[in-house]
Amino acid sequence: MAFLKRKERTKERFSLLLLDLEEYYFEQHTAYHVTTCSEKERKVRGSFKVCSRSVIFDPEDVSEPILKIPLRDCKKIEFVERESNPFNDPRPSVISISCVQAIYIKESNVIAPYRNERGAKKVTFQLEDWSKTEDVVQTFLQLHRASCLEKLGDQTAMIAAILQSRLARSSFDKNCFQSMAEKPHMECAVEMVLPLVSNPGHVCITDGSLYFQPLNGYPEQVIQIRLNRVRRIYKRRHTLRPLGLEVFCSEDDFCSDIYLKFYKTADRDEIYYYIATFLENHVTEHTAESYMLQWQRGHLSNYQYLLHLNNLADRSCNDLSQYPVFPWVLADYSSPQLDLTNEATFRDLSKPVGALNKERLDRLLSRYRGMPEPRFMFGSHYSSPGYVLFYLVRVAPEHMLCLQNGRYDHPDRMFNSIGDTWKNCLDGANRLQREFYGNDCSFLENKRNLGLGRRQNGSLVGDVVVPPWASEAQHTALESQYVSEHLHEWIDLVFGFKQRGSEALAAHNVFHPLTYEGGVDCDSIEDPDQRIAMLTQILEFGQTPKQLFTTPHPQRITPRFHNMTRSPSSNSPVSDLSPASQSEDSSFEDLTEESRKLSWANIGNLKPISSHKIHKEAVSGIAVTRDGAAIFSTSQDSTLKMFSKELKDFQRSMSFSNMALSSCLMLADGNTVVCSSWDNNVYFYSIPYGRRQDTLMGHDDAVSEMCWFDERLYTASWDSTVKVWQCPSDSSSNHKRSQFELLAELEHDAGVNTIGLNPAGTLLVSGCKDGAVSLWDTSSYTALQQVHCHTGTIHHTAFSPDSRHVLSVGADSCMKVTDVQTGMVISSVKAEEEQRCFCWDGNSVLCGGGSGDLLLWDLLSNTVTKRIPAHSGAVTAMWMSKLCSTVITGGEDRQIVFWKLQS
């Protein structure tokens, strides 16, 4: 129904839907339909349409029917010259058509099935401009020859040649420019695509507007779209070829402003990239991964997310063979009220609708096993023009009549009841449409009092019978807890990794091979009849959406879960991955979380308080005591230094070897600082005693970074390992730590540059020099995921606060967000410079850039929202307080900078 929301551009009774499928409307002339009754001549004035397969006459008097004469049914088309006998009244030239069938449409101006009148008939038309009569007849004779060719392929080829000839002889009228100052960029022939029909013409793009001028002047002389109003553009796969372009002037409306089909892919791409220059960050904004991240984190509803996925998968309301698809989510259509807390209310979203009925599935599997290649389980597709109009016939009756040659479907086969349709779907496979989840329910009502027929039980087809709970919005069910938790399973089937291959077979999700993108190359079929037949079959049969995901789609983050759990039979995290509560006082924890959210919302208000140059080389690590009084920093100059916040000066300097120190951290006792070194060792420094307390000689190459949790030290090294050590912390003990128990050694394929723990300490992430991110279970020390997501060294990686995602930055200047549960990279941002370190809250990222600036990134829009000058060299280290009120940065300029968040 989205395509019916488009602004009406004409009030004419005539519509392109009166044409046959794949027919073109070329030109129109003011004319008279001349009839003779009892030797008295009657003239009806109207519009005479020249179409590629028919003659159409649309009378001005709306009580008169529209007359359509298919050219294939014409026996003779002739030009009758005007009478020049001076003794008689002058008679103008006319067009005389002898035919065996005439079709009458909209009799008494009522939308109803067409009336076909068969039998020999002679029809006469008189053009108001007599001089054009002979040319129009010649055009019809040429089109008549095309319609009478024996082979369909030859007919199509000849009509296409006539169309291209007309387009070549015409061009865009530049007098239609909004301003004489506009500069044209390019012009080419195109077709404007509408549901079931298309309209040929010329597109012209200037430095200010996109113009489309129809060849026939219908529905208006020119359509203009201002480029500064364009918000989204999509390349489209139309008729199985990369020729489509859809333009939207709104962020959320699903109905585009124009859908164009080009004759050459190069023309389409040139206009696409030209328009894209008017859109800020267009290329990075609209990806499946960026929308997934927004949906996962609750910034998009289920409905909005499905709209975006449909859009990205080439589903368009202008192409009924690729209309947007939505899931049936309910299985209860009889209860007086919906119980959205009961799982029995919902269908199993992990299975195709056609596989929910076990008996039917067994029959399909039996047939599948005995079928020759190529085999398939479902012969009919779940989305096709027939299915779309099955649901929308009450609001789009003319589309149904166009699709079915002027007839409605049999009354008992029509959309009469939602509950009955669900039962029938268990024996079929069709999906729902977005209309079921919108606020407009007019498609369920026969408001136009259409004569849709009488059923076998004697009842007239009227409004759709809705379930007893119909007063409750279906939209509520789509946004329910159950659907939010399981929608990713349906996405796997329709847009994801279970759409094709062995996973599709295992999920009983195999459709006819012609429905899949790339299933057939129509251009490679030499026989034109076979090519046309194949193309027609595909367009009418339905098409599977473009595959958007090739790995399992992550689950949505839902508010119900609070603890992280693991399946006993799997090493993969399941349910929720949020950290365990760190406080028994939930109200205090909520307050803390609210404070964090408030702080991150204002993180762009960071102001520098002071800066201090206390090292001789780049700063590599920062650690702060519990009371914030002392700040420790390590540097490539091999020193650990302590800075006094109160005295605003550094108080101590300690060197453990002559090699660079790579990181530092504060142990839980608050009395010990641990430093990692390029000399392969880890050093423990006692704050109360001001000296080195112990040395851990643990690796065969430089130790790059460390983490500490619950008396366990995790050390990463360029020797391609991460080691886990038991290191009891005893603040009351003054003796040296003489025992370090090695608990585990995690092997990698390349040197490990960075590691991080999730807040609960249950997961470890490591980033390597080969660009791989690895996820580990810290209870079993087993690898959960390995994702090669960068093309160079990974500088820093960290979990989001809820442990659902990992962010990594690398030498390739990319920021990647990886889903912990599936290992899928769900967001990728190419920055203008390398990001060396960061802090983040799951949505916003405060990065230290190679230029020395702090950059605030919004991952949901993939844009930099603030750039804050900080250092004169790359930012190499960053520390943030728990409530984000204080930030400390270190850089290649050897400085430590203190920042305060201003309210």
Instruction: Judge whether 162 and 142 are in contact, CB under 8 Å.
Output: yes
Residue 538's pLDDT is: 74
List, in sequence order, the alpha helices (H) in 100-216: 133-147, 152-168
Task: Scan for tokens 């080419």, then name that residue.
Answer: 188
Separation of alpha carbons 378 and 507, rounded Å: 13
| Domains 170-286 and 320-541 in one fold | no
Q: In what order do the strands lie in the sheet with 639-644?
A: 619-624, 630-635, 639-644, 649-655
β strands within 10-162, DSSP E: 25-37, 40-51, 54-59, 66-70, 74-80, 94-105, 115-127
Over its C-alpha atoms, the chain yields an Rg (Å, rounded) of 35
User: CA geometry: angle at 160 spanning 156 and 165, to 5°?
Assistant: 155
Range 2-167: architecture per CATH: Roll (2.30)
Q: Note the pLDDT of residue 574.
A: 31
CA atoms of 237 and 793, how far apart (whole Å) = 37
Closest CA to 845 of 823, 860, 833, 824: 860
Predicted structure pTM score: 0.77
Strand partners, 864: 857
Question: Which phi-psi region, left, alpha or beta, contains residue 181 (left: φ > 0; alpha: ψ -120 to 50)?
Answer: alpha
Mean pLDDT by 10 residues, the chain (903 residues): 51 88 93 84 94 96 95 94 62 91 95 95 93 93 94 89 95 92 95 94 96 94 92 86 90 83 96 85 62 86 91 91 91 90 94 88 89 86 89 94 94 92 77 71 90 93 91 73 95 95 93 82 74 76 90 80 34 31 33 70 90 94 90 95 80 91 91 95 92 92 95 96 85 54 95 96 96 95 94 95 94 93 87 93 92 92 90 96 90 95 81
At position 188, the amino acid (one-letter code) is C
> Which class for 887: exposed (0-12), middle (13-18), buried (19 or more C-beta within 10 A)?
buried
Beta carbons of 134 and 96 less than 8 angstroms apart: no
Residue 569: what pLDDT? Answer: 34
- Classified as helix, coil or strand, 357 is coil
Crossing angle (nearest 10°) for helices 288-296 and 302-312? 170
Residue the block writes with tokens 């179409």 = 51
Neighbour order of strands in the sheet with 895-901: 606-613, 895-901, 886-891, 875-880
Do 842 and 294 form a contact (C-beta atoms < 8 A)? no
CA distances from 557 to 737, 819, 821 (A): 43, 11, 11
Q: How far is residue 306's CA from residue 288's CA, in Å, rounded to a whole number?
A: 10
pLDDT the model gives residue 520: 73
Domain limits, the chain: 2-167, 170-286, 320-541
Q: How far is CA 534 from CA 152, 238, 318, 528, 537, in A?
A: 12, 15, 21, 10, 5
Which residue type occupies 326? F
Distance separating alpha carbons of residues 14 and 216, to the nearest angstrom: 13
Q: What is the CATH number of domain 320-541?
A: 1.10.1540.10
> Which two structure tokens, joined as six digits, stand for 713?
């030290």
Could you please state the CATH topology (level 3) that the domain comprising 170-286 is classified under: PH-domain like (2.30.29)
Q: Parallel, antiparallel, or unpaired for β 649-655 and 661-666? A: unpaired
Is-cis flag, bond preceding 528, omega within 30? no
Residue 285, helix vs strand vs coil: helix
pLDDT for residue 579: 30
Phi first, then psi, for residue 273 (nearest 5°) are: -70, -30
For residues 392 and 386, give the distance between their C-alpha atoms in angstroms, rounded to a whole number. Answer: 10
Q: Is 3 helix (H, G, I), strand (E, B) or coil?
A: helix
Give residue 647's pLDDT: 67
Q: How far is CA 345 from CA 196, 330, 429, in A?
A: 37, 6, 20
28 contacts: CB under 8 Å, gap ≥ 6: 47, 48, 49, 50, 216, 217, 218
Torsion of CA 319, 321, 326, 327, to 10 degrees: 180
Give the SS3 label for residue 402. Answer: helix
As to burial, measured by CB atoms within 10 angstroms (0-12 exposed, 13-18 middle, 19+ buried), residue 779 is exposed
Helix locations, 180-298, DSSP H: 265-276, 282-285, 288-296
Q: Are 333 and 518 in contact (CB under 8 A)?
A: no
Residue 887: name the closest of 900, 875, 872, 903 by CA.
Answer: 900
